[in-house]
């Protein structure tokens, strides 16, 4: 499974292709306050185990993979229940902040769901992203459109890896502001260098 793409990297790619490349291909990682806080908040979800509450069995830190998609990774939680005689699985991803304007968290969650669909005969109709910042679960339905966008993200990730070239920095500096890799990426500086080189 060495060539399997980590599911979490799809989140990075949807947020910023340069961030994805720096993290996945170059192995860069920088810990800032946002990364550290996210890690601390994830500690309980990252301890493997299962617990039952009523008719819901919650599995924590579930390893998932898809041979068809060539992706692998962990779901923070997968809830299991029986609805109308059918087994239903609901993946849940925990995130530090609040729901953003981008679909990177939805893509990551959908990739987890697609792994569950491939590896079980259960229904996987929806999932949730729990945002610590708002203390709310955002419901995500795994529509054909979201699944298609997730497949596109996987293909795009493989293309970027095959090209072997660091993508240019974003022009959307609001995304860069809280990025832990901003001091490595240097988006503004790289833009100025490319403008002066022309």
Q: What DSSP element (H or E) covers 137?
A: strand 136-141
Region of poorest pLDDT, from 12-16, 98-102, 123-127, 190-194: 98-102
Contact 81, 114 (CB under 8 A): no
CATH fold, domain 5-165, is Lambda Exonuclease; Chain A (3.90.320)
- Tokens for 161, please give them: 């890896």
97-125, pLDDT tens digit by residue?
Answer: 777 777 899 999 999 999 999 999 999 99
The residues, any chain, with a CB within 8 Å of residue 55's CB and separated by 6 or more, are 81, 82
Model confidence pLDDT, tens digit, residues 48-98 = 788 999 999 999 999 999 999 999 999 999 999 999 999 999 999 999 877
pLDDT > 90 fraction of the chain, expressed in percent and rounded = 64
Q: What is the pTM of this model?
A: 0.86
Q: What is the pLDDT of residue 156?
A: 97
Q: Which residues, listed in sequence order, are joined to residue 60 by a DSSP beta bridge? A: 49, 77
User: Which residue, among 183, 190, 153, 149, has the nearest Cα to 169 in the 3D structure?
Assistant: 190
- 3-state class of 71 per DSSP? strand
CA quadruple 65, 69, 13, 159: dihedral positive or negative?
A: positive
Domain boundaries, the chain: 5-165
pLDDT tens-digit map of 128-184: 999 988 888 999 999 999 999 999 999 999 999 999 999 998 887 788 887 888 888
For residue 3, pLDDT over 70 is answered with yes
Nearest to 90 by CA among 66, 65, 125, 63: 125
């Amino acid at each position: 499974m060495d060539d399997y793409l980590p599911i979490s990297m799809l989140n990075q790619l949807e947020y910023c292709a340069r961030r994805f490349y720096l993290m996945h291909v170059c192995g860069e990682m920088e810990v800032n306050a946002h990364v550290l806080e996210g890690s601390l908040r994830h500690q309980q979800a990252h301890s493997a185990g299962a617990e039952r509450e009523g008719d819901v069995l919650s599995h924590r830190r579930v390893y998932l993979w898809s041979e068809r998609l060539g992706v692998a990774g962990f779901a923070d939680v997968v809830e299991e229940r029986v609805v109308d005689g059918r087994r239903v699985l609901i993946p849940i991803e925990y995130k530090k902040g609040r729901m953003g304007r981008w679909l990177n968290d939805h893509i990551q969650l959908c990739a987890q769901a697609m792994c569950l669909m491939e590896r079980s005969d259960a229904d996987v109709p929806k999932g949730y992203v729990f945002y610590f910042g708002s203390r709310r679960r955002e419901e995500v339905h795994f529509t054909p459109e979201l699944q298609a966008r997730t497949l596109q993200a996987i293909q795009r990730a493989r293309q970027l890896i095959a090209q072997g070239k660091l993508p240019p920095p974003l022009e959307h500096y609001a995304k860069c502001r809280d990025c832990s890799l901003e001091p490595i990426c240097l988006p503004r500086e790289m833009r100025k260098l490319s403008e002066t080189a022309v």
